[in-house]
Structure 1
């Protein structure tokens, strides 16, 4: 008789849930990386435009040109604010996925420990059965051997 863990289907399901949680975490981590890179790029562009504004204000440049750059700079500042919010949302999503993965790891570990204990009990029971059978065989052989000697 082979060993069969009674909760194997649940253990398999928890393994699949854990794998999905790992994929979700990887996806949100990649999205966070992209969001942060985008924010860095925007901040660099903003700094570049602010420096350009300072140079243009010191030079004698048309007011129209300065106003165009100021308008672009204001739009860029708004995009930076929005991107910072997006980064925060993605960070929260990563934290959520980390928590889900931690829970799935715990659930799977509990079931694996249960499986190990169940297997040990199974092995002990099999050993007891084997010892009982060997004992019965030994008794039958003894009886057979002593029975032949009396005749």
Structure 2
């Protein structure tokens, strides 16, 4: 007789939910990395621009070109501020997905544990039945030999 767990569909469902949570976390991490890369690019652009502004100021560039560069620096500052906010939101999303995944992992472990306990009980019952069958066969043989001996 083969072991069949009555709640196997629940175990499968919990496993699928965990897999989906892993995908969601992976997607959130990818989004966070993209946002962080974009933020770093903006910071690098601003640093390069500051070097250009400094060298332009030292080479006596026109006031209008310096003002234009300063406006662009201000624009980059705003972009950096918005992107920093996006990074923070992405970090929160990663944390939320990590927490969600942890819950799904625990859920799956509980159901797998229940299935394992049921399987152990089933195996013990099968061993007990087998032992009882062997004991009964030994008793029948003993009774048959005892009956012939009389």
TM-score by length of 2: 0.94
Higher deviation after alignment, 81-90 or 70-79? 70-79
What's 2:52 paired with?
Answer: 52
What's 1:129 paired with?
Answer: 129
What's 1:29 paired with?
Answer: 29
Aligned-residue RMSD, C-alpha? 1.2
What's 1:9 paired with?
Answer: 9
**Counterparts of 1:1-151 in structure 2 under 5 Å?**
1-150=1-150
Higher deviation after alignment, 75-84 or 114-123? 114-123
**4+ runs of 1 displaced by more than 4 Å?**
none
Q: C-alpha displacement at 1:25, in angstroms?
A: 0.9
Gaps of at least 5 residues in structure 1 are: none
Q: C-alpha displacement at 1:69, in angstroms?
A: 1.0
The aligned length equals: 150
Q: C-alpha displacement at 1:144, in angstroms?
A: 2.0
Higher deviation after alignment, 21-30 or 85-94? 21-30
TM-score by length of 1: 0.93
SS at match of 2:48: helix
Gaps of at least 5 residues in structure 2 are: none
For 2:41 and 2:125, the matched residues in 1 are separated by 66
